């Protein structure tokens, strides 16, 4: 298997799914559809929908019912980035190598395009009911996971504590809480939904959640490292953003070397739990390793 070629092929497939589920740019409100498309199709790793599909495949899933959930989760992730870049939050001018939404469309449209993507995400996920009405129970469970992991017990909850902690010294347990909700939650949602829709057992879903949690922690700590060691050009967004916003991170608490060691430990643990499932997906394992140890 040539991993890079496979990843390019799979990313192209995800891009096609996202375009398929975007609303057409029409009507008096078409400006919001344009702003939604500007953000959703801005590129990126497509980590979450890719993880979702790979877990779904690993557990034997073969239906297109996974596709609206792949699109929905990427819409939620994208809306969170739009709002994260706003002047009231991180106040960043660039994301994925190009100008952020509020710079291009104005702050009000930036807020509204994020709101639109969040609402449209659940409208999109609900299309799965029409595709497989006989699978209504597991589709409902998947939507339940999506809502919880994106809300006050997931990503939003982590963002709230992150903002409240800015400018003050933050304890390790609070940093862990922020990371587990702000970053890990959507990765957990991706992998859990893939498992649920493929009919995995409760024990298997719990293991998948544990794997995803470790991947998310490692991913965020690596992000902290890149914020102080990378460049704007390589990263595609401004570096030293955490310092600018007076945020305590794993790197500011423990230094780069210990942060790198923690990334390695978490990734090894994630692979160990993944292997205990006794399911085969060599690409998924390689994807996890590559993403955690990324340079951008």
Q: Are 36 and 22 in contact (CB under 8 A)?
A: yes
- DSSP letter for each residue of 245-263: TT---HHHHH-HHHHHHHH
How many domains, in total, are found in the chain? Answer: 1
Mean of per-residue pLDDT scores for the chain: 92
What is the structure's pLDDT at 1?
76
Residues linked to residue 94 through DSSP beta bridges, in sequence order: 99
Q: What is the pLDDT of residues 37-93, one digit of tens each?
A: 999 999 888 999 999 999 999 999 999 999 999 999 999 999 999 999 999 988 889
pTM, two decimal places: 0.92
Taking residues 130-146, report their average pLDDT: 97
Is the pLDDT at 296 greater than 70, yes or no?
no
Q: Strands 94-95 and 98-99, how do they pair?
A: antiparallel
CA–CA gap between residue 257 and residue 170 (Å, rounded)? 20
Q: What is the pLDDT of residues 198-238, one digit of tens each?
A: 999 999 999 999 999 999 999 999 989 998 885 555 455 45
Is the pLDDT at 248 greater than 90, yes or no?
no
Is the pLDDT at 134 greater than 50, yes or no?
yes
Q: Are 96 and 236 in contact (CB under 8 A)?
A: yes
CA–CA gap between residue 73 and residue 79 (Å, rounded)? 10
Half-sphere exposure for 249 (CA within 13 Å, toward CB): 28
- What phi and psi, each to the nearest 5 degrees, are found at residue 95? -150, 130
Structure tokens at 39: 């953000």
Output the CA–CA distances (angstroms, integers) from residue 160 to 32, 153, 181, in the order listed.
26, 11, 10
CATH of the domain at 182: 1.10.600.10
Domain that holds residue 26: 3-292
Q: Are 59 and 211 in contact (CB under 8 A)?
A: no
Half-sphere exposure for 172 (CA within 13 Å, toward CB): 5
């Amino acid at each position: 298997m040539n991993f890079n070629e496979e990843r390019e092929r799979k990313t192209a497939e995800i891009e096609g799914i996202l375009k398929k589920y975007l609303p057409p740019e029409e009507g008096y409100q078409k400006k919001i559809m344009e702003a939604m498309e500007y953000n959703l199709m801005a590129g990126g790793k497509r980590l979450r929908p890719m993880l979702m599909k790979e877990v779904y495949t690993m557990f034997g899933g073969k239906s297109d019912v996974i596709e609206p959930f792949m699109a929905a989760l990427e819409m939620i992730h994208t809306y969170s980035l739009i709002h994260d870049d706003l002047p009231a939050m991180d106040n960043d001018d660039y994301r994925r190598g190009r100008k952020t939404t509020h710079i291009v469309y104005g702050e009000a449209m930036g807020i509204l395009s994020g709101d639109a993507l969040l609402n449209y995400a659940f409208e999109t996920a609900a299309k799965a009911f029409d595709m497989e009405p006989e699978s209504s129970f597991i589709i409902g469970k998947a939507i339940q996971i999506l809502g919880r992991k994106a809300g006050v017990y997931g990503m939003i909850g982590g963002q709230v504590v992150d903002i409240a902690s800015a400018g003050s010294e933050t304890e390790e347990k609070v940093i862990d809480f922020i990371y587990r909700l702000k970053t890990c939650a959507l990765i957990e949602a991706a992998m859990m939904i893939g498992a649920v829709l493929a009919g995995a057992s409760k024990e298997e879903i719990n293991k998948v959640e544990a794997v995803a949690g470790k991947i998310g922690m490692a991913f965020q700590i690596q992000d902290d490292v890149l914020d102080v060691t990378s460049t704007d050009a390589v990263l595609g967004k401004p570096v030293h953003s955490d310092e600018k916003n007076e945020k305590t991170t794993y790197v500011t608490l423990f230094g780069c070397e210990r942060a790198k060691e923690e990334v390695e430990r978490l990734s090894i643990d994630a692979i160990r739990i993944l292997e205990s499932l006794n399911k085969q997906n060599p690409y998924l394992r390689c994807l996890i390793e590559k993403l955690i140890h990324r340079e951008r």
